[in-house]
């Protein structure tokens, strides 16, 4: 029988379903274990194993790979229930719900309903007073022309720290960016190097400055002595610019306003509002710079002088086209604030 029948197995793997099938078929055709061994190149022991074990592998026990529709609905309700639930990574959701499923199962179920992981928007808290002021500011500026926006000189300061520029991730739908449970409220920044800069759509980046380390805090005298001369020099070069001041005490102090007026620096009638990054495009520049620092200089510890040089490099890396795009978005931002009745927007 062995001399009359020839058979070539399809694969050379003693551990697969196909190879067990081949061995058992050859046995039914009359091949001995020794003949199968010669044909396949397997050992006698491997042939015996393939001949005596089931073709279909035993289904391994483990976590379920799918959820019922009722469970998916429960999952979505839980995820949307709070900020804490939105921030839970996929691998922690089964434990929170008391389920024995893997994180791939959770991800698949949420994606079926349109949910994915996104970086959470970081927004400052909005009080009722601030909400009204934001709404008034947006209404006041909604009729500005593109030229007026281009002539606006935006200025602000922020604190930079070396190391990771952390972000919080949330589970949400694409259109839920401004949902209150998907927003992380800003907290007071850690101590670091405070950096001031300004820019406009028409002239691009202006001068920049670091607050001195020995200053315990910045008062109106520091602002007038350090910042106003920089603004004065820049506006003299570009007399068409109009300063969009901020409502911080150092910028609204009587001495500051008088000094700006004496130097002929024109200011907008309404300053941009603190805790309103969607109404001051320079706030987006800070995030871009911090991402650049983290990507290009991820080390946690740097000397003050070196770190300040790195921050200046990040400022220099900001593209002028990016600044123009930010300024061009201001009319849409104003309309978004009005539509949100002064509350958070996606910007």
15 assigned to some structural domain: yes
Query: Tokens standing for 160?
Result: 């930079």
Q: How far apart are CA 137 and CA 245, in angstroms?
A: 13
Give me the pLDDT at residue 1, please: 43
- Pair 169, 265 in one domain: yes
Per-residue pLDDT of the chain (347 residues; tens, 9 = 90+): 444 444 444 444 444 667 778 888 888 888 888 888 888 888 888 888 888 877 765 555 554 557 999 999 999 999 999 999 999 999 999 988 889 899 899 999 999 999 999 988 777 778 898 899 999 999 999 999 999 999 999 988 888 876 555 678 899 999 998 888 988 876 555 556 889 999 999 999 999 999 875 555 667 788 888 888 999 999 999 999 998 876 676 776 778 888 888 888 877 656 667 778 889 899 899 989 988 988 888 766 778 888 889 999 999 999 999 999 999 999 999 999 999 999 988 88
**What is the CATH classification number for the domain harbouring 276?**
3.30.420.10
- Pair 36, 163 in one domain: no
Number of Cβ within 10 Å of residue 191's Cβ equals 8
For 253-276, b/e burial (b = at least 16 CB within 10 A) is: beebeebbeeeebebbeebbbbbb
252 assigned to some structural domain: yes
- Pair 84, 204 in one domain: no
119 assigned to some structural domain: no
131 assigned to some structural domain: yes
CA angle 61, 64, 68 (to 5 degrees): 150
Give me the pLDDT at residue 10, please: 46
- Pair 171, 286 in one domain: yes
Give me the pLDDT at residue 152, please: 93
Q: How far apart are CA 207 and CA 227, in angstroms?
A: 9
Query: Tokens standing for 41?
Result: 């190149």
- Pair 135, 107 in one domain: no
Q: How far apart are CA 259 and CA 81, in angstroms?
A: 51
329 assigned to some structural domain: yes
- Pair 132, 229 in one domain: yes
Q: How many structural domains does the chain have?
A: 3
Q: How far apart are CA 21 and CA 50, in angstroms?
A: 8
Residues in the chain: 347
93 assigned to some structural domain: yes
- Pair 15, 104 in one domain: no
- Pair 225, 103 in one domain: no
347 assigned to some structural domain: no
Pairing of strands 183-185, 152-160: unpaired
**Residue of 322, 294, 283, 308 whose CA lies nearest to 205:** 322
Domain region containing 262: 124-339
Pairing of strands 121-123, 193-200: unpaired
**Cβ-based neighbours of 202, under 8 Å, separated by 6 or more:** 150, 151, 238, 240, 241
344 assigned to some structural domain: no
- Pair 180, 309 in one domain: yes
- Pair 108, 191 in one domain: no
Give me the pLDDT at residue 341, please: 95
- Pair 334, 230 in one domain: yes
Alpha helices of 61-117 — where are they, by DSSP H? 69-79, 83-87, 93-97, 103-112
- Pair 101, 234 in one domain: no
CA angle 250, 256, 262 (to 5 degrees): 165
Give me the pLDDT at residue 269, please: 55
């Amino acid at each position: 029988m062995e001399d009359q029948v020839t058979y070539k197995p399809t694969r050379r793997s003693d551990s697969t379903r196909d190879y067990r099938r081949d061995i058992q078929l050859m046995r039914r055709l009359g091949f001995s274990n020794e003949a199968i061994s010669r044909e396949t190149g397997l050992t006698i022991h491997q042939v015996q194993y393939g001949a005596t074990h089931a073709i279909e592998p035993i289904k391994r026990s483990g976590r379920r790979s799918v959820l019922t529709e009722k469970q998916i609905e429960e999952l979505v309700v839980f995820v949307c229930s709070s900020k804490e639930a939105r921030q839970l990574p996929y691998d922690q959701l089964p434990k929170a719900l008391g389920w024995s499923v893997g994180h791939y199962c959770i991800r698949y179920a949420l994606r079926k309903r349109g949910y994915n992981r996104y970086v959470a928007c970081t927004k400052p808290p909005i009080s009722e007073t601030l909400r009204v002021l934001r709404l008034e500011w947006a209404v006041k500026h909604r009729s500005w022309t593109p030229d007026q926006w281009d002539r606006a000189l935006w200025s602000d300061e922020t604190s930079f720290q070396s190391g990771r520029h952390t972000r919080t991730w949330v589970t949400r739908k694409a259109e839920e960016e401004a949902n209150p449970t998907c927003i992380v409220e800003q907290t007071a920044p850690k101590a670091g190097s405070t950096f001031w800069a300004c820019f406009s759509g028409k002239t691009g980046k202006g001068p920049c400055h670091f607050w001195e380390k020995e200053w315990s805090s910045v008062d109106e005298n520091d602002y007038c002595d350090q910042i106003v001369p920089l603004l004065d020099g820049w506006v003299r070069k570009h007399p068409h610019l109009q300063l969009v001041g901020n409502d911080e005490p150092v910028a609204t102090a009587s001495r500051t306003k008088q000094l700006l007026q004496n130097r002929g620096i024109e200011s907008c009638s309404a300053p941009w509002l603190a805790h309103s990054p969607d109404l001051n495009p320079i706030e987006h520049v800070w995030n871009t710079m911090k991402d650049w620092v983290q990507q290009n200089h991820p080390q946690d510890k740097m000397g003050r002088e070196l770190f300040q040089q790195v921050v200046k490099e990040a400022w220099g890396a900001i593209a002028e086209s990016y600044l123009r795009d930010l300024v061009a978005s201001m009319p849409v931002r104003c309309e978004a604030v009005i539509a949100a009745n002064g509350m958070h927007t996606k910007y």
